[in-house]
Amino acid sequence: MPSTVLVGAQWGDEGKGKITDLIAGDYDYVVRFQGGNNAGHTVIHGDKELALHLMPSGVMYEHAVPVIGNGVVVDPGVLVKEMAMLEAEGIPCGNLKISCDAHVIMPYHKDLDGADEKWLGSQQIGTTKRGIGPCYQDKMGRKGIRIQDLLDEKIFRLKLEHVLAQKNPILERIYGLHTYTVDEICEEYLPFSRILKPYMAETAQLLNDALRSGKNILFEGAQGTLLDIDHGTYPYVTSSSCCAGGAATGTGVGPTRIDRVLGIQKAYVTRVGGGPFPTELVFEEDGGSGQDAIDGETLCRVGHEFGVTTGRKRRCGWFDAVIGRYAGEVNGLTDVALTKLDVLSAFDTIKVCVAYECEGKRYDYFPMQQSVLFHARPIYEELPGWKDVDITGCRTYEELPANTRAYVEYIEEATGVPTSIISVGPDRDQTLFRRR
List 3, 5, 6, 12, residue binding ligand IMP (CB under 6 A): 12
Instruction: Please give the single-letter amino acid code of residue 327.
Output: A
Count of alpha carbons within 13 angstroms of residue 78, beta-carbon side:
22
Applying CB under 6 A, among 3, 20, 223, 339 the residue interacting with ligand IMP is: 223
CB of 62 to ligand IMP, least distance (A): 26
Q: Which of residues 25-64 bind ligand IMP (CB under 6 A)?
A: 38-40
Q: Are 212 and 218 in contact (CB under 8 A)?
A: no
Residues 6+ away with beta carbon under 8 Å from 58: 24, 27, 29, 30, 31, 64, 65, 66, 67, 95, 218, 220
* 3-state percent breakdown (helix, strand, coil) of the chain, nearest 5: 40, 20, 40
Q: How far is the CB of 270 from ligand IMP (least distance, A)?
A: 8
CB 65 within 8 A of CB 29: yes
Phi, psi of 302 (to 5 degrees): -70, -35
Number of residues located near ligand IMP, criterion CB under 6 A = 19
From candidates 4, 203, 225, 238, binder to ligand IMP by CB under 6 A: 238
Closest approach, Cβ 256 to ligand IMP, in A, equals: 29
Is 41 catalytic? The answer is yes
- The single residue among 10, 57, 70, 128 that binds ligand IMP, judged by CB under 6 A, is 128
| 132 lies in the binding site for ligand IMP (CB under 6 A) | yes
Residues 19, 339 contacting (CB under 8 angstroms): yes
* Residue whose CB is nearest to ligand IMP in the complex, by number: 273
Which residue of the set 13, 21, 138, 149 is catalytic?
13
* Residue 97 touching ligand IMP (CB under 6 A): no
* CA-closest candidate to residue 408, choices 279, 334, 321: 321
287-303 per-residue burial string, b: 16 or more CB within 10 A, e: under 16: ebeeebbebbbbbbebb
Q: How far is the CB of 404 from ligand IMP (least distance, A)?
A: 27
Figure out which of the listed residues 32, 130, 146, 325 binds ligand IMP, where binding follows CB under 6 A. 130
Residue 96 Cβ, how far from ligand IMP at the closest point, in Å?
A: 20
Q: What's the min distance (Å) between Cβ of 339 and ligand IMP? A: 14
- Nearest approach in angstroms of CB 54 to ligand IMP is 12
First to last CA, the chain: 9
Span near ligand IMP by CB under 6 A; candidates 139-147, 161-169, 221-229, 355-363: 221-229
Whichever of 133 and 144 has its CB closer to ligand IMP, that residue is 133
13 part of the active site: yes
**245 near ligand IMP, judged by CB under 6 A:** no
**Residues 246-285, interacting with ligand IMP (CB under 6 A):** 272-273
Give 159: exposed, middle or buried? Use CB within 10 Å, 0-12, 13-18, 19+: middle
Phi, psi of 274 (to 5 degrees): -80, -175
Across-strand partners of 83? none
Region of 421 please: left (phi>0), alpha (psi -120 to 50) or beta. Answer: beta
Asked if 239 interacts with ligand IMP (CB under 6 A), we say yes
The phi-psi region of residue 226 (left if phi > 0; otherwise alpha if psi is between -120 and 50; otherwise beta) is: alpha
Helix, strand or coil, per DSSP, at residue 7: strand
Half-sphere exposure of 237 (CA within 13 A, CB side): 20
Nearest residue (CB) to ligand IMP, 193 versus 239: 239
For ligand IMP, the closer of residues 131 and 252 by Cβ is 131
Question: Does 352 sit near ligand IMP (CB under 6 A)?
Answer: no
**Nearest approach, Cβ of 357 to ligand IMP (angstroms)?**
26
226 lines the binding site for ligand IMP (CB under 6 A):
no
Catalytic residue of the set 21, 41, 101, 320: 41
List the catalytic residues.
13, 41
What are the residues binding ligand IMP (CB under 6 A)? Answer: 12-13, 38-40, 125-128, 130, 132-133, 222-223, 227, 238-239, 272-273
